[in-house]
């Protein structure tokens, strides 16, 4: 279903993170830097599992990966024959000054392709298809076939014109019943995302599926079956859930973590090594604590004046005699 990789794409790591001692070695997903709240982790898994149960085919795309926290979760939901593509500038320069300034203010020091690859390969045996470049190249170079994607996560530029362009591309790339997740649709520092999101809802046929504090979930198809299944699931988990909001005459569930099934924290290839190091550290601390009282007693004896020491010995001897009596 995926268009073959172009010269811009790669499935090969730029360095081998197993052999690179300076590469990140996260033990669990929480060790990977980034912004992927528990609510959205759970909702991603629920939506992707729901697609699997309904046997909805298609590929997966993430636009804006940072250091891979959400990509790692998406990678666990890929099925045989599907392609997972990620797109990010990483350390490349943005084509326009506004986007470049946003990158420099927020991501430039930490966001590298090498770090993303190391984090991803800590949890998976192979990389996704990586496109290092601006998201508009996905459309210009026809790197993604129309109607080929079942799930797209948009978490790249916060600038209105870029988000609007990413949404136009997502509409073309998604299956009719595919899901798009939009990050930062309501954050105070990202009004461009909010403007592009609700413009797509009001004018371009995007229909809300669910809302969380961090992300907007929608489709250009019919959301009713997915929405109803999600509402039923939330009500089984929490009688207060969901909070139904009316948006353009549609009831949209607003969700929180407790309304969604809990997910196991993914463990990396480094988890056992981290656990062994932690256990060795705990043993060393226990040994130190056991030795400390004896050292403290010796130090107290060295610092106690002779007369006081003799008085303490007499008191201790009398206490022992009374105990024997």
Q: 199 exposed, middle or buried (CB, 10 Å; 0-12, 13-18, 19+)?
A: middle
- 15: pLDDT strictly greater than 80: no
Interacting residues of 304 by C-beta distance below 8 A, sequence separation 6+: 312
Q: At what angle do helices 160-173 and 191-203 cross, to 10 degrees?
A: 40
Six-digit token pair at 69?
């926290």
Give the whole-angstrom CA distance, residue 16 versus residue 4.
24
Q: What does DSSP assign to residue 231?
A: H
Task: For the domain made up of 9-259, give the CATH fold.
Answer: Rossmann fold (3.40.50)
pLDDT in tens, 164-204: 999 999 999 999 999 999 999 999 999 999 999 999 999 99
Domain assignments of the chain as residue spans, ordered by start: 9-259, 271-324
| 74-130 tens-digit pLDDT | 999 999 999 999 999 999 887 665 555 555 555 556 789 999 999 999 999 999 999
DSSP letter (8 states) at residue 292:
H
Whether 325 has a pLDDT exceeding 80, the answer reads: no
Listed in sequence order, the residues at least 6 apart from 129 whose beta carbon sits closer than 8 Å to its beta carbon are 2, 5, 9, 10, 11, 83, 84, 85, 86
Give the HSE-up count for residue 56: Cα atoms under 13 Å, Cβ half-sphere. 23
Which residues have C-beta within 8 Å of that of residue 253, sequence separation ≥ 6?
210, 211, 227, 230, 231, 234, 241, 242, 243, 244, 245
- In this structure, is the dihedral angle defined by the CA atoms of residues 172, 174, 180 and 184, taken in order, positive or negative? negative
């Amino acid at each position: 279903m995926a268009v073959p990789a172009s010269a811009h794409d790669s499935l090969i790591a730029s360095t081998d993170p197993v052999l690179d001692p300076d590469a990140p070695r996260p033990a669990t997903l929480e060790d990977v830097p980034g912004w992927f709240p528990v609510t959205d982790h759970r909702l991603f898994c629920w939506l992707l599992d729901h697609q699997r149960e309904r046997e909805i085919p298609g590929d997966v795309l993430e636009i804006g990966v940072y250091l891979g926290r959400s990509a790692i979760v998406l990678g666990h939901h890929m099925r045989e024959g599907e392609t997972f593509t990620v797109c990010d500038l990483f350390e490349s320069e943005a084509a326009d000054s506004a986007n470049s300034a946003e990158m420099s203010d927020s991501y430039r020091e930490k966001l590298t392709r090498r770090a993303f690859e190391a984090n991803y390969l800590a949890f998976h045996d192979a990389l996704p298809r990586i496109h290092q470049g601006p998201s508009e190249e996905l459309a210009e170079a026809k790197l993604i076939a129309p109607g080929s994607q079942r799930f797209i996560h948009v978490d790249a530029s916060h600038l209105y014109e870029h988000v609007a362009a990413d949404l136009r591309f997502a509409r073309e790339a998604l299956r009719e019943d595919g899901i798009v997740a939009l990050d930062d649709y309501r954050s105070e520092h990202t009004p461009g995302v909010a403007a592009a999101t609700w413009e797509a809802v009001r004018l371009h046929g995007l229909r809300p599926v669910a809302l969380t504090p961090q992300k907007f979930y929608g489709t250009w198809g019919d959301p009713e079956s997915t929405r109803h299944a999600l509402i039923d699931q939330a009500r089984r988990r929490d009688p207060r859930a969901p909070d139904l909001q009316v948006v353009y005459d549609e009831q949209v569930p607003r969700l929180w973590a407790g309304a969604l099934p809990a997910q196991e924290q993914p463990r990396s290839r480094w988890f056992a090594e981290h656990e062994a190091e932690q256990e060795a550290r705990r043993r060393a601390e226990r040994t130190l604590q056991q030795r400390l009282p004896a050292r403290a007693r010796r130090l107290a004896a060295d610092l106690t004046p002779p007369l006081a020491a003799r008085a303490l010995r007499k008191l201790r001897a009398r206490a022992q005699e009374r105990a024997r009596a």
